[in-house]
Amino acid sequence: MEAAFKNQWQLLNQSQPITFAPVIPVTMKQFNVPIIYRSPLITAVKNKRKAADKMKKDFTPTLLDFGNLHIYVARHFGFCYGVENAIDIAFKTIEENVGKRIFLLSEMIHNPQVNADLQDRGVQFLQDTHGNQLVPFENLTSDDVVIIPAFGTTLAIEEKLNAIGIQTAQYNTTCPFVEKVWNRSEQIAKKNYTVIVHGKPSHEETRATFSHAAANTPTVVVNNMKEAFALGKYISGEKNAAEFYTEFADRYSEGFDASRHFERIGVVNQTTMLASDTQAIADYLKQAMIDTHQLTENNLEERFAETRDTLCYATNDNQSAVYGLLETTAHLAIVVGGYNSSNTSHLVELCEKKLPTYYIDSADKIMSANQIVHFNFHTKQELITNDFLPNSSPIKILITSGASCPDVIVENVIEKLLSVTGASTSIEAVMELL
């Protein structure tokens, strides 16, 4: 079974996007996002596409023709609902609490510019992105303000802050779609399912989701398909349950019993993972349950909970838009976003399967027409590539960005590309044609 699923997983990652049918609010709330993050060009592009495609069924990119430079912009990219909500709350909190000490539990979102802007306004971080303490909780008082980031936080940290007298609910920017995963976990926990979280173990959102799920039911974190295959062997009994505690050290909840707690399972996710990976993991573990317990579609629910609706709509849209983007013939792709952004790294992962891809966090990383500084998220290192632009006319570049990247940064990248290539058409001229 494992070999068959490896082949299926590879096909999923090479084909069309996976649709998870996430639930979207009927009316999307409008947020007050500072104008410094807006872009006249990108706003015009998005408004044009929205007007022509209200149901979001067209994932083809938008061509910006600058003469000797053709830029293809993804159908969906940039700030999502949860990010705009977090930024709106954070900046309002600063305005409403003049003279008070304001802390962010950790990075607001995974974007260096936004986090730097908040720090410039006096906001301090209590922890880094890995959960290491920067300011001891003991230094806080009940008069301080603590903002919970969009990723959410653990129940243990909430309890610590509340014990000090800090009301975490008042300035909580947790994304509603993250909370939706928590709620789904609680629902299946009530039916005695063990929760399998597909996520990066060190990511803030995964730590928060694990905490909320583990408060209600046995919980395990699975990072990738390889770990899902390993988990399947404990479900089937192929591996001794005693080995589980070493192989999945620090990935399971207190009191987890590998000999009993795989009898009923459900899979939820860190909302920014690749949809195809989440589907493949869920399908593999479901098949493991079917084979182990000789289930049919009629009694599958006795052992496996269906949770396909927990993927974030923005993650799904952005990944689908990249599949559409990659249908265009181009010389290279540029993906813009914070280097510790999970959702951005997955867009890079999709692009680099098809063509040379450069992951940058600002326009400054484009040094010239001959040199770019970019991030290798596999090795966690910045690299310098020379002669990254082809000697062609027109040069064709695909561009997208992560859900925590301000549109203005994307426009800055486009402006820098126009500058280094000596593009023959201006942004203003292209905007008039939109």
Catalytic residue list: 205
Residues 6 or more apart from 309 whose CB is under 8 A from it? 20, 21, 22, 23, 184
Strand partners, 69: 395
Q: How far is CA 253 from CA 105, 132, 160, 202, 298, in A?
A: 23, 20, 20, 15, 31
Q: How many CB atoms lie within 10 A of CB 243?
A: 13
Beta strands in 98-163 (DSSP E): 102-104, 124-125, 145-147
Q: How far is CA 319 from CA 70, 182, 308, 325, 349, in A?
A: 22, 23, 16, 10, 10
Question: 269: closest CA among 283, 284, 257, 279?
Answer: 279
**Would you say 279 and 361 are in contact if contact means Cβ atoms under 8 Å apart?**
no
Buried b (16+ CB within 10 A) or exposed e, 274-308: bbbbbbbbbbbbbbbbbebbebeeeeeeebbbebb
The arrangement of strands across the sheet holding 102-104 comes to 124-125, 102-104, 145-147
**Would you say 270 and 197 are in contact if contact means Cβ atoms under 8 Å apart?**
yes
Beta-strand pair 69-73/395-401: parallel
Q: What SS3 class is residue 424?
A: coil
Q: For residue 384, how many C-alpha atoms fall within 13 Å in the half-sphere facing its CB?
A: 7
